[in-house]
Amino acid sequence: MDLRKLRYFKVVADEKHIGRAAKVLHISQPPLTRQIQQLEEELGVTLFSRNPKGMELTDAGVLLREEVRNIFSLIEQATERTQKAGQGRLGRMDIAIFGSGIMGDIPKMLLFFKERYPEVNIVLHTMGKGEQIKALRQKRISVGFNRLLAPLADISSELVSMEKLRLAISTKHPMASQDHIPFEKIREFPLVMYPTAGRPNFIDKTIRLCQLAGFTPDISQEVGDAVTGVALVASGFGACLVPESATVLSIPGVVYKPLSDEPDEAEVDLSCIYRNDDESPLLKAFLETLKEFRTIKDNRSLDELC
């Protein structure tokens, strides 16, 4: 079977006239006659009854015409969908986020992507840093969101945003009424820190920052994630350093205080990671959209400053 024959058949069926059909197809009449004959021979079926004034479809021909319509529409659909997939506009994308990643820029970015690529099905997985890297290597995910990533040979990363830090303290603490807290006052708080897994992590970062500021922090408790940390602060466990985005999490008894006089690097990154060798157009589209997202975000913050 040959699509050319089916295409020719369709035109002849529409025109009921080999000569006219040949004109429509921009070929001469004899080859068209032959193609139709071959199609009939191949199927072992008479598709047209030849009248002196043209050709008429037989019942079998009428049926085939219907089927041919379906075949062509299916082929058209297949090429369209394949092309979309090739441009990263169609498919499934498995993305990992970390526990408190549901707050802040990640959902905004994902929504932004979803608007531009509505036919890409995003599947979210929650996993820690080490697990994300493993899942990337096993191709179970294409992208992971995380912070404080150590460079790796087979994995690249792309910055999403930098976030300032805030100090979560109890509303009952004397400093709860202050506008901001000088960085070096952190030494006075017993600190709840996270996460326990995935080096280098936020704990390492904090210790380094404190040492830059000339003191060693008093780590009273280590927990798995920001939410747990803030919850402990609410119960009177001291203070907890969190990225700005985590302050959307409002818990009774806790206030988030901006810091002052902090060291220059008192910021954490939010980045996304992906395999170096991943040539998938989906990933390409995702990273491009990410860059676009970042510039729009920058412009917006500029706008807000004006």
Partner DNA sequence: ATTTATTAATACCTTAAAAGTATTGAGATG
Partner DNA sequence: CATCTCAATACTTTTAAGGTATTAATAAAT
Positions touching DNA (CB under 7 A) are 2, 4, 17-19, 26-31, 33-38, 50, 52-55
Binds a second copy (CB under 8 A): choice among 281, 287, 294, 297: 281
120 binds a second copy (CB under 8 A): no
- Does 27 interact with a second copy (rule: CB under 8 A)? no
Kindly give, in sequence order, each residue whose CB lies less than 8 Å from that of residue 16, ignoring residues fewer than 6 positions away.
54, 55, 56, 57
Helix boundaries (H) for the chain: 3-15, 18-25, 29-43, 59-86, 105-116, 129-137, 202-212, 226-234, 281-305
Applying the rule CB under 8 A, the residues between 81 and 100 that interact with a second copy are: 81-83, 85-87, 90-91
Residue 43 in the binding site for a second copy (CB under 8 A): yes
Q: How far is the CB of 63 from a second copy (least distance, A)?
A: 5
Q: How far is CA 258 from the centre of its chain?
A: 31
The residue count for binding a second copy (CB under 8 A) is: 36
49 touches a second copy by CB under 8 A? yes
CB of 157 closer than 8 Å to CB of 269: no
Site of tokens 């996304």: 272
Contacts to a second copy from residues 168-227, by CB under 8 A: none
| CB-based contact 253:132 (threshold 8 Å) | no
Length of the chain: 306
From the list DNA, a second copy, none, partner contacted by residue 64 (C-beta under 5 to 8 A by kind): a second copy
Q: Which is nearer to a second copy, 257 or 275 (CB)?
A: 275
**Binding partner of 26, given DNA, a second copy, none, CB within 5-8 angstroms per partner class:** DNA
Least separation in angstroms between CB 39 and DNA: 10
Minimum CB distance to DNA smaller for 12 or for 239: 12
- Is the CB of residue 272 less than 8 Å from the CB of residue 161? no
From the list a second copy, DNA, none, partner contacted by residue 209 (C-beta under 5 to 8 A by kind): none
- Which three-class secondary structure state does DSSP give residue 183? helix
Extract the runs of DSSP E, i.e. beta strands, from 194-280.
218-222, 240-243, 254-260, 267-275
Closest CB 19 distance from DNA, rounded Å: 4
Q: Which is nearer to DNA, 5 or 84 (CB)?
A: 5
Beta carbons of 226 and 249 less than 8 angstroms apart: yes
Whole-angstrom distance, CA of residue 2 vs CA of residue 229: 67
| Residue 3 binds: one of a second copy, DNA, none (C-beta under 5 to 8 A by kind) | a second copy
Please state, in angstroms and as integers, the Cα–Cα distance from residue 21 to each residue in 40, 92, 213, following that order. Answer: 17, 43, 85
Residue 56's binding partner among a second copy, DNA, none (Cβ under 5 to 8 angstroms by kind) is none
For DNA, the closer of residues 26 and 172 by Cβ is 26
Answer yes or no whether residue 231 interacts with a second copy by CB under 8 A.
no
- At closest approach, how far in Å is the CB of 69 from DNA? 21
From DNA, a second copy, none, interface partner of 54 (C-beta below 5 to 8 A by class): DNA
Q: How far is CA 8 from CA 2, 18, 32, 33, 55, in A?
A: 10, 10, 7, 10, 14
Interacting residue ranges for a second copy, rule: CB under 8 A: 1-4, 43-47, 49, 58-60, 63-64, 67-68, 70-71, 74-75, 77-79, 81-83, 85-87, 90-91, 279-282
